């Protein structure tokens, strides 16, 4: 098969991660002149840029052009038709967290369009969608990579795939999968010193941009549950959805239904004693409390919530907003393979997407 001289790139999403990816794509196109990477489509939820003759869109000023564009984004079926008709290999980069785009992955892949994405919803939604995505890719030969759906640019998914594909037996996966929760508990219950009040730490995390606009979207544990669902499936467990296993929410029942994130923060101090008791109980045992996810492959148990750890444990010793993921396997024995580092942030998340794009290019071009 002759190598493709050109690969078209279509991008959905030009927000935080999307902007960082555009910068990395421009550098990649300069560093790797072959195959030629041509941006032929880019859209946000409201605007788009594309040309009927597939003329290349200049990457360097695309953000400002997109803001002033009068073109509307194409719905997935129309976009597939447009991308298919170009006559060139095409990679769709989905830098959104949209369920609608995720639901269309089997259609894109079935039509030979490869996908790279940090979108967790495609791989942690229903198990049926997961099966449809990978079976469509297998049938058409299109590629799908989603390294940044867990741990941003950390090589979590590629490492797990390598362990499984080389025949190692993964027995347990455990770790801190949320930069937000890592930051909160490293400040609230540090291994040395006292730590702050729980509500004050949540407020500080929000002010520093570590939480979602409404901190409850982090504290409900669902983000971690989505990541665990993805890893459990890659390890061979047929997990139906992120709500099909125990997930501990740190939102007081009384505050689940308050109208806004700001109102939640105002009322949270009244519930500080609950978290203080949890912290004190761990301290009595000479331990610290952390918010972790774990997958026990043998017993098929997945859970997310608070656990106590000895001060010497790698999970206890995390700093800042780092993630840590430990893989316990037959080959690695009692000392797990550990991956640690920044698990959130635009540039590192985009790095995982760019790295996936390079993998696809090596296979399709």
For every residue of 251-293, DSSP letters joined together read S-GGGTT-S-HHHHHHHGGGGHHHHHHHHHHHHHTTEEEEEEE
Q: What is the pTM of this model?
A: 0.93
Distance CA 339, CA 314 (A): 11
Residue-range domain boundaries for the chain? 6-153+347-364, 156-342
- Say if CB 201 and CB 230 are below 8 A apart: no
Report the top-level CATH class of 156-342.
Answer: alpha beta
How far apart are alpha carbons 23 and 165 in whole angstroms?
A: 33
Question: For the chain, which residues score pLDDT lower than 50?
Answer: 1-2
The answer to the question of whether 305 is labelled as a binding residue is no
Q: Which of 89, 121, 143, 227 is catalytic?
A: 227
**d(Cα 245, Cα 124) in Å, to the nearest integer?**
13
Would the annotation count 138 as a binding residue? no
Is 47 catalytic? The answer is no
Whether the Cβ atoms of residue 54 and residue 82 lie closer than 8 Å to each other = no
Is there a binding annotation on residue 18?
Answer: yes
Please report the sign of the dihedral spanned by the C-alpha atoms of residue 214, residue 215, residue 219, residue 225.
Answer: positive
DSSP, collapsed to helix, strand or coil, labels residue 11 as strand
Q: Please check if 152 is assigned to a binding site.
A: no
Asked if residue 17 belongs to a known ligand binding site, the reply is yes
Tokens of 43: 């859209």
pLDDT of residue 3: 54
- Do the domains 6-153+347-364 and 156-342 sit in the same CATH topology, yes or no? no
- Can you tell me the distance from the alpha carbon of 290 to that of 305, in angstroms, rounded to the nearest whole number? 8
Sign of CA dihedral 199, 205, 208, 210: negative
- The pLDDT tens digits for 131-179 are 999 999 999 999 999 999 999 899 999 999 999 999 999 999 999 999 9
- Known binder of ligand: residue 195? no
Cβ-in-10-Å burial (0-12, 13-18, 19+) of 248 comes to middle
How far is C-alpha 82 from the geometric centre of its chain's CA atoms?
28
At 51 the pLDDT is 96
Q: How many CB atoms lie within 10 A of CB 332?
A: 16
Contact 94, 119 (CB under 8 A): yes
pLDDT for the residue numbered 1: 45
Helix (H), strand (E) at residue 340: strand 337-342
pLDDT at 4: 65
Q: DSSP assignment, residue 314?
A: T
pLDDT for position 193: 86
Q: Confirm whether residue 247 is marked as ligand binding.
A: no
* SS3 call for 115: strand
Q: Do residues 83 and 52 make contact, with C-beta atoms less than 8 angstroms apart?
A: no
CATH 3.40.50.720 for domain 6-153+347-364, yes or no, is yes
């Amino acid at each position: 098969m002759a190598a493709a001289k050109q690969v078209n790139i279509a991008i959905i999403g030009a927000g935080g991660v999307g902007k960082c990816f555009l910068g990395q794509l421009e550098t990649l196109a300069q560093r790797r002149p072959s195959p030629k990477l041509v941006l032929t489509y880019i859209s946000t939820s409201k605007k788009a840029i594309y040309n009927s003759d597939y003329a290349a869109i200049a990457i360097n000023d695309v953000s400002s052009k997109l803001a002033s564009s009068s073109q509307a984004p194409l719905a997935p079926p129309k976009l597939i038709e447009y991308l298919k008709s170009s006559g060139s290999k095409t990679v769709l980069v989905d830098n959104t967290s949209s369920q609608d785009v995720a639901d269309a992955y089997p259609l894109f892949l079935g039509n030979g369009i490869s996908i790279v994405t940090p979108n967790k919803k495609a791989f942690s939604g229903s198990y049926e969608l997961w099966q449809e995505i990978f079976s469509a890719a297998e049938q058409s030969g299109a590629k799908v990579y989603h390294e940044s759906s867990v741990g941003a640019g950390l090589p979590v998914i590629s490492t797990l795939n390598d362990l499984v594909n080389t025949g190692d037996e993964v027995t347990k996966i455990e770790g801190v999968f949320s930069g937000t929760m890592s930051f909160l508990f490293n400040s609230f219950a540090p291994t040395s010193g006292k730590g702050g009040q729980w509500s004050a730490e949540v407020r500080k995390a929000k002010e520093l941009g570590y939480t979602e606009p409404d901190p409850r979207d982090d504290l409900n544990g669902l983000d971690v549950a989505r990541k665990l669902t993805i890893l459990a499936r890659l390890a061979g467990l047929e997990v139906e959805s992120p709500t099909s296993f125990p997930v501990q929410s740190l939102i007081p029942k009384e505050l689940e239904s308050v109208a806004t994130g700001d109102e939640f923060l105002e009322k949270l101090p009244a519930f500080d004693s609950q978290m203080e008791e949890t912290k004190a109980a761990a301290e009595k045992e000479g331990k610290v409390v952390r918010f972790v996810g774990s997958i026990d492959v043998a017993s098929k148990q997945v859970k997310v919530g608070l656990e106590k750890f000895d001060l010497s444990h790698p999970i206890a010793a995390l700093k800042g907003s780092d993630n840590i993921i430990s893989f316990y396997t037959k080959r690695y024995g009692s000392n797990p393979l550990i991956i640690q580092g920044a698990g959130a942030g635009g540039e590192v998340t985009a790095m995982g997407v760019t790295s996936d794009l390079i993998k696809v290019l090596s296979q399709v071009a």
